[in-house]
Amino acid sequence: MLNGVGGCTVAEAKANISYAEVLAWVAYRDKHGTLDIGRRLELSTAIIALQVNRSAGGKAEMADFMPHADHQALALEKAMAEWV
């Protein structure tokens, strides 16, 4: 049961999907981003928040409005310079 809505189980889907279909989904995800609706909504609201911030003279970055995004690690030297 797919999220209680219907369809096949994960095991059935894995058994029935072809390699070509997997490649098609990978290409779709590479072009359009994640399939996770929460992440897509977070990105959309971050874009709006960034535009509002910039129009008000702010210097925020996109990552500042995306708490669940994978952020790049801060270099030790840069962190020390910013925290002093």
Residue-wise pLDDT tens digits, 18-59: 899 989 989 998 898 888 888 889 989 999 999 999 999 999
Q: Give the amino acid at 5.
A: V
pLDDT at 51: 95
Check: CB of residue 57 under 8 Å from CB of residue 51. Answer: no
Check: CB of residue 32 under 8 Å from CB of residue 24. Answer: no
Helix ranges (H only) for 1-84 are 10-16, 19-32, 37-55, 76-83
Q: Which of 2-6, 18-22, 69-73 has the lowest mean pLDDT?
A: 2-6
CA-to-CA distance for 69 and 7, rounded, in angstroms? 30
Domains of the chain, residue spans = 1-33, 37-83
